[in-house]
Amino acid sequence: MEDSKIIDLFFRRSREAIPALAEKYGPLCHSLANGILSDRRDAEECVSDAYLGVWNTVPPKRPDPLRAYLCKIVRNLSITRYRANRAAKRDSRYALALEELGDCVSGGTDPAEEWEARELAELLNDFLGRLPPKDRVLFLGRYWFADSVREAGARVGISEKNASVRLTRLRKALRSYLEERGVRV
């Protein structure tokens, strides 16, 4: 079903809306949530909550593109769940990706240098915009979608080893970029 028709179902408050959304994007959402949580049951619950999130925001929103909109909700919910679970679980792909991201920051918190997520997101948008598309997809595949290094590499047609080396360079580049703009990493 086309996205516009799915959105129409949400606007009509139709019982068919969520099943239609799940049928089209369920596998993608489960893959994303499972990559972050490594727990099928938790992932299923996050995906269900994400469908409810779409129900609660459409209308008045008319998300375009719907797929990225849904993915963003799934990722946010999965990370929230991950935080709640992390004392017990440290074996998800997201945990590994998060550890790698530690290369870009020190991990310390300086109250005088607190950066809002939104300000950081603007810097990240700028950083990503400067990257060649291939590097951008590789970086986000790993750190947004919690792909394994092999999967992230496959997205851009390079080997796991090659992807690992390139990701290391990208993390260093991000750290330098942030430092140059006064972000105490």
Partner 1 sequence: MTREELSQALGQIDTMYIEEVLHTRKKRPRWPFLAAACLVLVCLGTALVRAEPRDLPAEETLPMLSAQLLQEGMGFEGVMVYDVAELSQSNPWTPETQLETLPVYRNLAYTDGAGAPAWLSDREMLALAKETARKMNATITAKTWEPAQEGDRSYSLTAQTDRGTIRVSGNGWITAEFTAPWTLEAAQALAGCRVDASWTDYSFAGEPFPHREAWKGGEAQTEAILRYNFARATFAQDEAGKVWMMGWGDLLGSAEKLGDYGILSLEEARDLLLAGDCLTSVPEEYGGVTREAIGKEELVYVTGNANEVFQPYYKFWVELTDPPGEMAEGLKTYGAYYVPAVSPIYLTDFPSETTSVFQ
Within positions 8 to 47, which residues make up the interface with partner 1, using CB under 8 A? 8, 11-13, 15, 28, 45
C-alpha span between 26 and 3 (Å, rounded): 14
- Closest approach, Cβ 96 to partner 1, in A, equals 12
Q: Which of 124, 148, 160, 162 binds partner 1 (CB under 8 A)?
A: 124
DSSP 8-state code for residue 18:
H
Helix, strand, or coil (residue 111): helix
Distance of CA 57 to the CA centre of its chain: 19
- Nearest 10 degrees: CA dihedral of 165, 128, 24, 55? 130
The only residue of 18, 96, 101, 173 in contact with partner 1, by rule CB under 8 A? 101
24, 85, 164, 177: residue in contact with partner 1 (rule CB under 8 A): 85
62, 96, 173, 177: residue in contact with partner 1 (rule CB under 8 A)? 62
84 binds partner 1 (CB under 8 A): yes
Q: How far is CA 111 from the centre of its chain?
A: 26
Looking at beta carbons only, is 81 or 166 nearer to partner 1?
81
Measured CA to CA in angstroms, residue 10 lies from 18, 26, 58, 136 at distances of 8, 16, 6, 33
By CB under 8 A, what part of segment 136-155 binds partner 1? Answer: 136-137, 140-141, 143-145, 154-155
Asked whether position 179 contacts partner 1 by CB under 8 A, the answer is no
